[in-house]
Structure formats: C-alpha cells, structure tokens
Structure 1
Amino acid sequence: MRLLKPVISFLTDWLTHEVQKITSPMCDFERIRHELKPCDVVLIEGRSRVSQVIKQITHSPWSHAILYIGRLHDIEDCRVRETIAEAYHGSPDEQLILESELGFGTVVHPLSRYQGEHLRICRPNGLSFSDSQQVIHYAVSRLGLDYDVRQILDLARFFFPYAILPRRWRSSLFQHSPGAETKTVCSTMIAEAFSFIHFPILPLVKHSGEEGVQLFQRNPKICKPSDFDYSPYFQIIKYPFMDYTHHSDYKLLPWHGHGILEGSEGDFYMSPRKLEELKRNGSSAPITSPSDLKH
C-alpha cells in the first residue's frame, strides 16, 4: 500500500493539472456571487485533464457541480454550523460551497475559489427554506468522503452499448455492497442530498392509465453535472460578463474598437477588420434565390 501512495498521488496531480488557460471571463462573478442563495447548484466548466474526460463521457461542457451553502450564519442548525466550522477555518463571513473533488474528497471551500471560471446557477424551483436546510444537512454529513475515481470509470462504461461489452467490463453502478458508502463524486453527492427530501432532478415518469402518473427517483450514481442544467425542476440563471439587457439593445455592445487579437485568438474570433470585410462581401453579393443561402 505504501508503494501505491506515490503512484496515486502522481496520477491525482496529473489528472487535476489545468491544461486550459483562463480566457476572458464568460460570466460576471460579482453578480453571480450576489445572486446565489443557499442550496443553489453551481455548474463549472473545468479546465483540468479529469474535466476533459468527464466532458467527453457526458457530452457536456459542464464537468463539475458544487452546492452553495451560504455563510455560516445562513445555516439554521447549530450542529451543522459547528461541523462546517471544524472543516473550514476561514472567515465566518465567507461565502461557502460544498463539493466532492479529485484530490480533496468531499470538502468545504470558499466560493471565491472559482472566480474567473465559467459558471452557471441552477436553482431548485420552489424549494422551501426548511427543505433547503435538510439538503445542506445531508451534504455536510458527507464531509470527509474520498472521491470515487472508479465511479467515473463506471460511468464511462455505462455509456457504451451494454450488449457488446464483456460481462467483466460492464458497469457496476447498480451493484450495492453492504455497509455505508465511503466514496462519492460531485454530482452524486448533490443528487443524494436532493433525493433525501424527494426533490426531483430527472425522475422516471411512468403513466399508469386512469391512475395518473408515478415518479421514480433516478439512481444518484448516474447523475451528471449537466443533469441539473437539463432538469425542468431547476431554474437556470446566467449572468454574462457583458449583458446587453443593460444596454437595451445587443447592437449597443462594445463590438467596435481597436483591440488586437493575440496568438490563437485570431483563429477563433473576428477582428474589427475581418468583420468589416465580411459586411462588405455580404452587401456586394445579394441573395437572389434560396440556393444562394447554401453558399
């Protein structure tokens, strides 16, 4: 086991290394920070190697999910506050999140850790204050659990056609072993917390004729960060860095200027000069038939 620890530590460092640089912010962190309410789920477009793996597996840009728990004084239960205070030794006025992350396990971190990242708020519709405290209570009870790398691999196998995989390669997500769970991943931990109060994320809806419908809770182990984005039971809140609603018209956004694109930016974005050329070429080639739209 001692020999394995350096190997595991090396692999963890390699997987969590951020291979993509932070570009211009896609969202306004300050507005998101002031908008957040306890029990909001925040999605993150990660930049590490393991984030790229999760994105490929789930076919989604969202690779990580965190649960916003607010400041210490936002927590109603004094025992939960004490547990959080033992796990986090920063300022009591700090906005806190709870997350399960490779290399850390299930921990409390400050929200400021994700300043500059691409974020999206998913707010559970109609969640009462008492239920939100129950969700936080459950999530806090998972503090200290290790990150379950095997579950990520299991999820990958789950997305392959089941019939063509050898039996020994098939996913074991639904095989329950006795005893309490000792590992988890970000979205599973949050999904379990909402399942604790029977709040739906992506339930199975079964129509039963004259008796109406019945809902079945999805196994939290197959919950992905993008499921909170896709769920009709969560409100999606976006705060773009440059919001044209404050300018009354998107045409008033600061598109014009003399900024210079650097490096690979020129391959992905249009300079003011290229935009002018595009406008000139477009105006000089009027559309005379539907077939012109294909060119």
Structure 2
Amino acid sequence: MQLVKTLASWLTNWLMQESQDISSPQCDFERIRHEVKPCDVLLIEGRSRVSNVIKQITQSPWSHAMLYIGRVHDIEDDRVREIIKESYDGSPDEQLVIESELGFGTVVHPLSRYEGNHLRICRPNGLSYGDSQKVVHYAVSRLGLDYDVRHILDLARFFFPYAVLPRRWRSSLFESSPGQETKTVCSSMIAEAFSFIHFPILPLVKLDSQHGVQLFQRNPRLCTPRDFDYSPYFRIIKYPFLDYTHHSDYKLLPWHGHGALEGKEAEFYMTPSKIKELQQVKIDGINVTGTDLLSENRDTPPS
C-alpha cells in the first residue's frame, strides 16, 4: 500500500510539473484582478503536463477552470465564511478562487497564484446576486473532495467513437458508484454549481409543436473548460497585455524595435524585416504596400 501511495505521489508531481518555457504574457493580470466579479468563471491555459493532456483531449487551449468567489467579506453567510476560513488561512482581503486540481483536490487558492498565466473571464449573463451566492455556497460545499483522475480518462474515452471501443473501455461518466460523490474535477464541479440554480451552460434545446421549447441540462461530468468559453450564456471578457482599445489606433502598438527572437520563437513569429517582405506582396498586379494604401487614402471608408 505504501508503494502505491509513493508511486501515485511521484506520478502526480510529474504530471503537475510545469514547462520551463515561459511564454510572453497574453493578458493584463492587474486589470483582470480589478474587473473580475464573484461567480465569474476563470479559464487558464496551463503549462503543466496534465494541462497538455487535457488540451489534447478537449482540443482547446483552456486546460483548467476555477470559480472566483471574491474576498472573504464578500460572502454574506456566516457559516460559509467560516468554512472558507478553515480552508484558507491567508489575508481576509485576498481575492479567492475555488478550484479542483490534481494533487490538491477541491481547495481555496488566492487569485494571485495565477499571475503570469493566460486567463480569460467567462461571466454568466444576467445572474442575480442571490443566485450568485447560491453558486458560491455550492462550490464551498465541495471543498475537501479529492480530484477524480479516472474522470479525465473517462472523458478521453468519451471522445472516441462509442461503437469501436470494447465494453470494458467505454466511458463510465453516466454510471454511479459509492465513491463518486467524494471526487470531482474542475469544470464538472463548477458546472454542478450552475446546474444547482438551473443556469444553462450548453443545454439541449428541444422544440415541440405542442409544448413549445424545453431545455435539458447537460450532464455536468461532460463539461470541460472550453464549454464556458463556447457557451452563449456566458460573456467572454478579455484584457490583453497590450490593449489598443484605450488608444486611438492599433497601429500605434510597439511593432518596431531592436528586440530579437530567440530559440524556437523564430518558428512562430515574424521579425520586422519579414513583415516588410510581406508588405511588398502584389495582388493581381497591384502593389499592396503601406505607402500605396496611405497615398490612396484606404484607411478611410469611401464617401
């Protein structure tokens, strides 16, 4: 038994090890930190080995989801605040998230833990304050549950054609077992919280000529981080690291300089000299250069 625990611990640490190649920041963490609201779902583009596995399975850059609950004093219910304090002993002014993570289970972490990561806010449209508190309460009730590693394997099998898999390999996502309620994964836990108040993520919409429209909640165990990004019921909020919307022109972004690409960066990005080559392209005999466009006043719409 001790050997099994040792191997499991080693495997968990190996899967959670993050890549040493730290990419450039894609979002403005300070703006996200100031704009995020309780009950927002935050998506993360993880850099660990298990994150890469989840990305491959779901065919999405988002490998993890967490629920923002605000600060401790944002919670109205005294009992819920006490449960959070039992799980997190940091500053009461710290912004907190609830997440289910391999190696930790369902826990409370400070939002600052994810500074430097690529984040995206998914905000439930029209969610009332009362229901947002219920979602937070449900998530808090899941604190302490283990992370369900088998669920990831089941989800992977679910993406294969059902008929070609042997019965013993088929997904058990719809089956119940005695220990099922003691384990969960990140997106499933959050999906359950929203299902608790009948808030849609990706429901089945059925039209009936006699009874009109009816929605059916999707099985929360089928939910992946990308579903919150794809859902029409969540508003996507982005805060890029360099945001030209607060300036007059995206052309004022710092494209030119003396910086150089390093290592594999040259395989994915273009230097200013390559951009100049691209700008000399001719389309149907027309020289589409920046100078020509300016001389023809192409930046303004025709009158």
Does residue 14 of the first structure (1) align with residue 11 of the second (2)? no
SS of the residue corresponding to residue 181 of structure 2 reads: coil
Aligned pairs for 1:45-64 within 5 A? 45-64=45-64
Does residue 146 of the first structure (1) align with residue 146 of the second (2)? yes
Shift of 1:131: 0.5
CA distance in 2, matches of 1:195, 1:166: 32
SS of the residue corresponding to residue 181 of structure 1 reads: helix
Q: Which moved more, 1:112-121 or 1:176-185?
A: 176-185
Partner of 2:166: 166
Partner of 1:221: 221
Shift of 1:23: 1.4
Partner of 1:287: 284
Question: Given residue 256 of structure 1, which amino acid in structure 2 is its aligned partner?
Answer: H
Shift of 1:179: 6.6
Whether the aligned pair in 2 keeps the contact of 1:20 and 1:48 (CA below 8 Å) is no
Shift of 1:274: 2.0
Whether the aligned pair in 2 keeps the contact of 1:68 and 1:98 (CA below 8 Å) is yes
Q: Which moved more, 1:203-212 or 1:218-227?
A: 203-212
CA distance in 2, matches of 1:110, 1:124: 21
Count of residue pairs the alignment pairs up: 286
Deviations 1:119-159 (A, max 9, x none): 00000001111100000000000000000000000000001
Partner of 2:25: 25
Unaligned runs of 5+ in 2: 287-303
SS of the residue corresponding to residue 206 of structure 1 reads: strand
Whether the aligned pair in 2 keeps the contact of 1:258 and 1:272 (CA below 8 Å) is no
CA distance in 1, matches of 2:153, 2:211: 40
Deviations 1:40-67 (A, max 9, x none): 0000001111111101111111000000
What is the TM-score when the length of structure 1 is the normalising length?
A: 0.94
CA distance in 2, matches of 1:37, 1:63: 21
SS of the residue corresponding to residue 177 of structure 1 reads: coil
CA distance in 2, matches of 1:179, 1:115: 35
Shift of 1:248: 1.9
Partner of 1:107: 107
Shift of 1:178: 4.5
Q: Which moved more, 1:172-181 or 1:73-82?
A: 172-181
Q: Which moved more, 1:30-39 or 1:241-250?
A: 241-250
Shift of 1:288: 3.7
CA distance in 2, matches of 1:32, 1:17: 25
- Relative distance call for 1:96 and 1:211 in structure 2 (3 A) is same
Question: Given residue 161 of structure 2, which amino acid in structure 1 is its aligned partner?
Answer: P
CA distance in 1, matches of 2:163, 2:239: 43
Deviations 1:59-104 (A, max 9, x none): 1110000000000110010100000011001000000000000000
Does residue 192 of the first structure (1) align with residue 192 of the second (2)? yes
CA distance in 2, matches of 1:53, 1:110: 25
CA distance in 2, matches of 1:261, 1:88: 42
Shift of 1:261: 1.5
CA distance in 1, matches of 2:181, 2:2: 24
Partner of 1:86: 86
Partner of 1:175: 175
SS of the residue corresponding to residue 210 of structure 1 reads: coil
Deviations 1:181-239 (A, max 9, x none): 00000000000001111111001111111321111111100000000000010000000
CA distance in 2, matches of 1:277, 1:194: 51
Whether the aligned pair in 2 keeps the contact of 1:22 and 1:116 (CA below 8 Å) is no
CA distance in 2, matches of 1:178, 1:23: 42
Partner of 2:270: 270
Question: Given residue 206 of structure 1, which amino acid in structure 2 is its aligned partner?
Answer: K
Show structure 1 runs of 4+ deviating over 4 A. Answer: none
Shift of 1:177: 2.4
Whether the aligned pair in 2 keeps the contact of 1:22 and 1:117 (CA below 8 Å) is no
Question: Given residue 270 of structure 2, which amino acid in structure 1 is its aligned partner?
Answer: M
SS of the residue corresponding to residue 205 of structure 2 reads: strand
Give RMSD over aligned pairs: 1.3
SS of the residue corresponding to residue 2 of structure 2 reads: coil
Shift of 1:20: 5.2
